[in-house]
Amino acid sequence: MTGAPENTQVTTAEQAPAATVAIVMRTKNRTLLLERAIQDVLKQEYGDWVLVIVNDGGAQAPVDALVEKYAVQGNGRIHVRHHADSLGMEAASNAGIRTTESTFIVIHDDDDQWSADFLTTTVAALNASGAEGVMVRTEIVYEKVVDGRIEEQGREPFSPEVAGITLFDLLRFNRGVPISFLYRRSVHAQIGYYDESLAAVGDWEFHLRFATHFSIDFIDGEPLAFWNQRPGATGDMGNSFLAREAEHHIYDLQVRERYLKEYADKYGVGALLYLTKIQDRQSHEFHQRHDHLDRKTQELLDVVHGQNERLERLEAAISDASLVSLLRRRYRRFKDRVTGK
């Protein structure tokens, strides 16, 4: 599987200048978020970058106005590519990549953010290790757009259990998001580009191909990337991961089916049949154990219930005996006073 085809349509085809890092920023009708993202890139301590904003079918004038607004600060490093019609997230990534020249590439979507030292840290890490890619500790930031303002609602770590990026873990689900991943441009010659046939999970599928052929380093510690999410937001302001959850499920299955068929075509279905039966048997045994534990738990609860009833009767008997004893003592004292003893 080589990824995206070579015929990505870009309506504005000006080539961006070369830089060490090419930053591809996908956007569509979200100028509030886009402006924050441009500011985020401009705050980077590392300066040898070029930013390509890929406006994927959104209104052109607001994007051009923002590029003009930050032209002086950008110092010729901010460029825009307009798609007259939306071609999709992965086509937008490929368009940005193919109109840049760089050693490294990173996808910075218009609603995400970095720590100011993200590029400094990741570029230094790849230069030191020679690895093809590096991901960083990432934090989810929950936010809400209120009256044209972005208000933070809360934060939590993204996959806090992750201590490294492996193909084994990526097979289960995506352990990294685009904002957290800097990689070498040279990998595209071997594994292809982003798969434009996928309306969702395209970054995960690319990470699978990447991890199949190359290692991905991981920088732990304080978060250097921030995956901003707006739960409940719909339309252009929604997150693709949240607003299109059903599509993610469909394309997740599509990717798994595609890879499974490629494996079966190459190696046959024998091992797969065996593993499927083993899984089925283990599932059956698990359910049997679960049912057995349910029965034993109920038996224990019945015993406890019976013991509680016995304790209640014993407490009542003790209470009654104490009352009788008290009445007898008082009766004797009363009798003694009456009889003068």
Pairing of strands 225-229, 113-114: antiparallel
pLDDT digits (tens, 9 = 90+) for 5-47: 333 333 344 688 899 999 999 999 999 999 999 999 999 999 9
3-state secondary structure of 41: helix
Element of type H or E holding 97: helix 89-98
Residue 4 lies in a domain: no
For residue 47, CA distances in Å to 120, 180, 262 come to: 9, 18, 43
Domain-located, residue 8:
no
What are the strands of the beta sheet with 149-157, ordered from one edge? Answer: 113-114, 225-229, 138-146, 149-157
Please report, rounded to a whole number, the percentage of residues in the chain having pLDDT higher than 70.
Answer: 88
Q: How far is CA 54 from the centre of its chain?
A: 23
User: What pTM value is reported for the model?
Assistant: 0.79
In a domain, 5, yes or no: no
167 and 252 housed in the same domain: yes
Same domain, 263 and 275: no
Q: Do 281 and 257 have their domain in common?
A: no
* pLDDT, tens digit (0-9, with 9 covering 90-100), for 99-109: 999 999 999 99
pLDDT of the residue at 338: 60
Reading the chain (341 residues) residue by residue, the pLDDT tens digits are 444 433 333 334 468 889 999 999 999 999 999 999 999 999 999 999 999 999 999 999 999 999 999 999 999 999 999 999 999 999 999 999 999 999 999 999 999 999 999 999 999 999 999 999 999 999 999 999 999 999 999 999 999 999 999 999 999 989 899 999 999 999 999 999 999 999 999 999 999 999 999 999 999 999 999 999 998 887 777 766 555 678 889 999 999 999 999 999 999 988 878 787 877 788 777 888 888 888 888 888 888 888 888 877 777 777 666 666 766 677 667 656 666 65
Quick one: 263 and 332 in the same domain? no
186 and 281 together in one domain: no
Of 267, 291, 317, which residue constitutes the final position of a domain?
267
Q: How far is Cα 3 from Cα 198, in angstroms, rounded to an integer?
A: 10
Task: Match 């409940």 to its residue by tokens.
Answer: 232
pLDDT digit string, tens, across residues 184-229: 999 999 999 999 999 999 999 999 999 999 999 999 999 999 999 9
Residues 24, 88 within the same domain: yes
CATH of the domain at 162: 3.90.550.10
DSSP letter string, 134-166: EEE-EEEEEEEEETTEEEEEEEEESSTT-SSB-
Q: Are residues 29 and 131 in the same domain?
A: yes
The amino acid that residue 120 corresponds to is T
What pLDDT is recorded for position 8?
Answer: 36
> What is the total residue count of the chain?
341
Q: Are residues 55 and 181 in the same domain?
A: yes
- State the number of CA atoms in the 13 A half-sphere of 80 facing the CB: 26
Where a domain ends, among 214, 238, 267? 267
How many distinct structural domains can be found in the chain? 2
Domain encompassing residue 37: 19-267
